[in-house]
Structure 1
Amino acid sequence: MLQELSIQDFAIISKLSLSFQTGMTVLTGETGAGKSIIIDAMSLLTGSRGGVDYIRAGANKAILEGQFDFPENKEPLLEVLEELGIECEEGVILIQRDLTSAGKNICRVNGRLVNLAGLRSIGEHLVDIHGQHEHQELMDEDKHLGLLDEFGGKKLAELKEHYALAYQKYTEKLNLYKKRRKSEKEFAQRVDMLTFQVSEIEEAELVRGEEEQLEEEVKLLSNYQSILTALAASYEALSSEEDSTLSRIHSAMDNMEKIEEYSDSFAQISETLTNSYYILQDVASELSQQLDFQEFDEERLNEVEERLDTIYQLKRKYGEDIDTILDYYEEISEELAQMSTSTGTLEELELEAKQLRKNAWAKGLLLREERIAQAKLLEKEILKELKELYMEKAQFEVRFTENEKLRLSPEGIEQVEFYITSNPGEPLKPLVKVASGGEMSRIMLALKTIFTRSKGKTSIVFDEVDTGVSGRVAQAIADKIYQIAQSSQVLCITHLPQVAAKSDAHYFIEKEVKNGRTETNVRILDSEERVQEIARMLSGEKITELALEHARELLE
């Protein structure tokens, strides 16, 4: 459930904070007041795409924040949060999204940065926004199968997963067969080339980071004489038997120790000389050890240069550095392994593909059988809901196309299309061709009612789903939305007074000009203000006493 929503510098909203409760909340106001902007903000908070156009003119960024609690069926959401490494305390999810003028999107969930895909995977379990785009989904027959699958239960989902795996195995084998059939010569050449490349890289026994170490070693060996001379000269300057730097500093240290008790400054100088003496003594010792270690190994220099030459040769062929070469090695090794396990004859590959196709088809038949069973249930549920929405004479069917060519597809072995008629005696026709706007609204609302019972979303947003209806149908839609609100939090943008009167809470959205700029404001209406707003929705700008009386009747 959405508890709090905060919006800053978003479109024509300067700053806005809203609190929401359970039940049914409506948002009303004049056209263009900014109702849809609030829905846009919720949509962005749950993972939809957004750009700089949303940022209020003159602002550097827009900031959206939402506080949600967990849905009843919280296990799927917890799995997503765990995968993203997000911790939740007290069952609360805090989402913040910043849109910057530089085009960056910064998304945080409980303080942790997530990408847009991660935010979307969380948002799918929190909010279901139902607007005009879903009418378009109903108007596309290719989407009907997905709607049926959404209605289907756990068994259908499992069968669909089994089919998808079988179909994937079949298509992979089929593609390999086609590739082999197209050119066995090319296939053999590819195997030979990959075998050579894998062998060449394996023989080199590359180690990540070794190139830098070898280059450092070459630098030392190539400059042996210069290094030896510098080390010897440095050691001589510090530790020569005659007049060395160390002996001079030691003398100064002894002299200062004699007078350090007379002044803090003398004591500080004495301490500094003492520290310097022992530090330089350690340096002289380290120089002596380095001189002992120095040894010119021409054979080792040749070995390192040959090794580096091998690495450079491989870089010219396979990548700009050792990491890239090894990544490429892993890639071609996997490809070669797949090709090597399929080195059978073309006839054997064809037989394997046929067997996998047979298996996929069998899985597809099981999936089809379950879909048909679920379709019958969906038909009954849809008709029941439509009856309550004054389409009691309607007939609704989920029709499966006959697949005469036995064609497999990623979704199954059939296509599905919704058919309907709202007039008795008329034949059923495709929904996309015969449904009016008002009928489409009611059908979509019926589907949403059914899906809500099975999916248990925490918040449902209806964005002007009552378009194209009036009278008793409008009242039926209001009743249906209120019914949904008994099991889920519902936020509803509406132009219908019947819907507004049915709500548990009523927000009014209006525009006003402050300091020469347009801003959107939102306020919750009290009892008398609700009467005034519903009367305005009934009669327009001029509110009559009759409209006020009608508004009170609706609220009662």
Structure 2
Amino acid sequence: MIAELTIKNFAIIESLSISFDKGLTVLTGETGAGKSIIIDAIHLLAGGRGSHEFVRFGEKRAELEGLFLLEDESHPCYRVCKELGIDIEDEMVVLRREIHATGKSVCRVNGKLVTIALLREVGQTLVDIHGQHEHQELMDPDLHLALLDQFGGKAVQKELLAYTEIYKEYKDVEKRLLHLTENEQKVAHRLDLLQFQAEEINNAQLTINEDEELFEERTKISNYERLYQSLNNCYYSMHGEQKALDWIGQAMSEAEGLEEIDKNLKDVFDTISNSYYQLEELSYQLRDEIDQLEFDPKRLDFIESRLNEIKQLKRKYGSSVEEILEYASKIEEELETLQNRDSHIHQLQESLQSLKEDLALEAKALTEARMKAAAKLTKSIHKELKDLYLEKAIFDVHFEVRKEKGQDGFLFQKNGVDMVEFYLTTNPGEPLKPMAKVASGGELSRIMLALKSIFSKHQGITSIIFDEVDTGVSGRVAQSIAEKIYQVSVDSQVLCISHLPQVAAMSDTHLFISKDVKGERTKTKVNVLGEEEKIREIGRMISGVEITSLTKEHAKELLELAGSMKQA
């Protein structure tokens, strides 16, 4: 849910901070007070298209910031943010956007700079804004299949997963077969290239870690003089008259037998004795190292040449000797496949045919699961439409199967072979048509609410915003719309701009938007209405400017009716 919204220098809003609660929040007020501007701000914050014209006159930039709270780690926002490398802590997401008067837009998600496109990816998981004239995803036939799968739940997801696993294998085999059946000239060129590469790597006779060992040897030979001098100095510092071993040997002789006088001195003698023999052994190792030292210019030249050869191979085939050898192994397999091309083509064709048969079976099972879900969805939506006094409307999920062009076989896609679109008719005797081409005006508002009532439970959207979707309705239809909006708010936070007193009465929180003119500037204000203020505002919505005792009574009656409905 959106918990807090901060707006600065946006349109007629100078500075505004609004806190939102769960449930249904209704925004009311006179026309032009700034209700839609608040929704516009949320829309831009969620990645909507912006313009420098939104910046308040005389200011350099507009600032928008929203705090969103996520209820659990299964929320789709976690997946999107993880893909974008954005951390989410304490189940909170902060979206921020600055729109400059120059037209530049700066966007951040939890402090990380992102593009508007990436902001939109995150925002779409948090906010769903439905305006009076907008075509939202529920009206987009390209998204109807995904909506049906969401509604189908585990039964559909199980079949979709089984299909997807075989589909991936099918596409892999198809790709390999396509690669082998390319034109002869391309295959011949590829064969020549691989043979050259394999020969070049094999002739080098590389061994694992060879380059590291050569680097160490080169360093040793290149620093021969320094190494020889230092080892000699170290050796002669220990060996000879009046040198380290001579003095320690003398100390050992002096300490010998002292433990007979003082038992506590035994450890002293042992330590001196051990040190003497350890240093003596070390001096012999130094002497052997000095004897083995050899400056070999020819060996140094060979190492330089070999390292340069390895460097050239790294430039072509990998960043290390190990990667070069792995690449060689990989192309050896491809060489074998190309050299025995006909045999491999036959094997892949048989494998592809077998996978195609398996895929057809899985696709059929997936279609059957979707059709069962479609039947349940149709029944649920008919109930919702009836509640909204569209009992004569007929909803249907239209299925088509993708076919290969000019053939009888399925055209397999990653989500199956089904093409799904929602069809509708609102008038008896009229044929079913694509939903986007049928609904209009007040009917559209009710149909959208019916669909939202069903899909809001499955989409995982944090906040749903209705911007005057109740325009053009009244009476019992207005009451049914109010009840549906409230039902949607049970599973998702809902913000709603409304001119209907029935909707306002159903609110859990009622925000009154007003404007105040000081000097020559207009400012927008937001007030949370208490019980008495809510009665007055609903009374104003019923009667207009003049509020009478009768309209107050009517307003109280609406609130009591709303309270009874919520408790039912």
Shared fold (TM-score, shorter chain, > 0.5): yes
Structure 1, unpaired ranges of 5+:
233-291
Q: Is the 8 A contact 1:406 1:413 kept in 2?
A: no
Write the distance in 2 (CA, Å) between the matches of 1:163 and 1:387.
36
Q: Is the 8 A contact 2:55 2:62 kept in 1?
A: yes
C-alpha offsets along residues 255-306 of structure 1, whole Å, 9 cap, x if unaligned?
xxxxxxxxxxxxxxxxxxxxxxxxxxxxxxxxxxxxx999865234423431
**C-alpha displacement of 1:475:** 2.1
Write the distance in 1 (CA, Å) between the matches of 2:333 and 2:63.
51
Write the distance in 1 (CA, Å) between the matches of 2:155 and 2:123.
25
Q: Is the 8 A contact 1:531 1:548 kept in 2?
A: no
**C-alpha displacement of 1:145:** 2.0
Paired residues in the alignment total 488
Tell me the residue number matched to 2:146. Answer: 146
Tell me the residue number matched to 1:355. Answer: 354
Worse overlay, 441-450 or 361-370: 441-450
**Cα pair distance change 1:190/1:553, threshold 3 Å:** same
Tell me the residue number matched to 1:155. Answer: 155
Tell me the residue number matched to 2:177. Answer: 177
**Cα pair distance change 1:401/1:112, threshold 3 Å:** closer
Write the distance in 1 (CA, Å) between the matches of 2:444 and 2:41.
26
Q: Is the 8 A contact 2:337 2:344 kept in 1?
A: no
Secondary structure at 2:108's aligned position in 1? strand
C-alpha offsets along residues 430-453 of structure 1, whole Å, 9 cap, x if unaligned?
323322232222222112111234
**C-alpha displacement of 1:119:** 7.2
Worse overlay, 424-433 or 501-510: 424-433
Secondary structure at 1:507's aligned position in 2? strand
C-alpha offsets along residues 25-66 of structure 1, whole Å, 9 cap, x if unaligned?
112345554434434554566x63676846667446735141
Code of the residue aligned with 2:16 in structure 1: it is L
1:387 has 2:389 as partner: no
**Cα pair distance change 1:207/1:491, threshold 3 Å:** farther
**Cα pair distance change 1:144/1:106, threshold 3 Å:** closer
Code of the residue aligned with 1:159 in structure 2: it is E
1:2 has 2:2 as partner: yes
**Cα pair distance change 1:156/1:49, threshold 3 Å:** same
**Cα pair distance change 1:105/1:119, threshold 3 Å:** closer
Tell me the residue number matched to 2:500. Answer: 496
Worse overlay, 484-493 or 47-56: 47-56
Query: Which structure 2 residues correspond to residues 138-537 of structure 1 after superposition, within 5 A?
Result: 138-194=138-194, 196-197=196-197, 200=200, 203=204, 221=222, 297-310=296-309, 313-314=312-313, 322=319, 343=341, 344-401=343-400, 405-410=408-413, 411-454=415-458, 458-512=462-516, 519-534=523-538, 537=541
Secondary structure at 1:391's aligned position in 2? coil
Write the distance in 2 (CA, Å) between the matches of 1:515 and 1:439.
44
**Cα pair distance change 1:176/1:69, threshold 3 Å:** closer
Q: Is the 8 A contact 2:93 2:109 kept in 1?
A: no
Q: Is the 8 A contact 1:479 1:502 kept in 2?
A: yes
Q: Is the 8 A contact 1:497 1:534 kept in 2?
A: yes
**Cα pair distance change 1:464/1:407, threshold 3 Å:** farther
Code of the residue aligned with 2:108 in structure 1: it is I
Write the distance in 2 (CA, Å) between the matches of 1:450 and 1:75.
20
Worse overlay, 328-337 or 362-371: 328-337
Secondary structure at 1:400's aligned position in 2? strand
Worse overlay, 50-59 or 422-431: 50-59
**Cα pair distance change 1:301/1:140, threshold 3 Å:** same
**Cα pair distance change 1:27/1:9, threshold 3 Å:** same
**C-alpha displacement of 1:356:** 1.5
Secondary structure at 2:22's aligned position in 1? coil
**C-alpha displacement of 1:93:** 1.9
Secondary structure at 2:356's aligned position in 1? helix
Write the distance in 2 (CA, Å) between the matches of 1:547 and 1:341.
89
C-alpha offsets along residues 466-495 of structure 1, whole Å, 9 cap, x if unaligned?
244344322211111112223433221223
Secondary structure at 1:152's aligned position in 2? helix
Write the distance in 1 (CA, Å) between the matches of 2:176 and 2:196.
21
**Cα pair distance change 1:513/1:182, threshold 3 Å:** farther
**Cα pair distance change 1:307/1:348, threshold 3 Å:** same
Write the distance in 1 (CA, Å) between the matches of 2:367 and 2:123.
31
C-alpha offsets along residues 413-445 of structure 1, whole Å, 9 cap, x if unaligned?
222222222223333333233222322222221
TM-score (norm 2): 0.69
Tell me the residue number matched to 2:244. Answer: none
Code of the residue aligned with 1:406 in structure 2: it is G
Write the distance in 2 (CA, Å) between the matches of 1:133 and 1:303.
78
Q: Is the 8 A contact 2:139 2:436 kept in 1?
A: yes
Write the distance in 1 (CA, Å) between the matches of 2:64 and 2:390.
44
**C-alpha displacement of 1:159:** 1.2
Structure 2, unpaired ranges of 5+:
231-289, 561-568
Q: Is the 8 A contact 1:539 1:547 kept in 2?
A: no
Write the distance in 1 (CA, Å) between the matches of 2:510 and 2:335.
65
**Cα pair distance change 1:426/1:337, threshold 3 Å:** same
Worse overlay, 296-305 or 473-482: 296-305
Secondary structure at 1:135's aligned position in 2? coil
Q: Is the 8 A contact 1:198 1:329 kept in 2?
A: no
**Cα pair distance change 1:327/1:32, threshold 3 Å:** farther
Write the distance in 2 (CA, Å) between the matches of 1:198 and 1:547.
94
Worse overlay, 197-206 or 461-470: 197-206
C-alpha offsets along residues 122-172 of structure 1, whole Å, 9 cap, x if unaligned?
766654444468734344433322222221111201211222232232233
Write the distance in 1 (CA, Å) between the matches of 2:36 and 2:335.
54
**C-alpha displacement of 1:121:** 7.4
Write the distance in 2 (CA, Å) between the matches of 1:8 and 1:201.
64
Secondary structure at 2:490's aligned position in 1? coil
**Cα pair distance change 1:96/1:454, threshold 3 Å:** closer
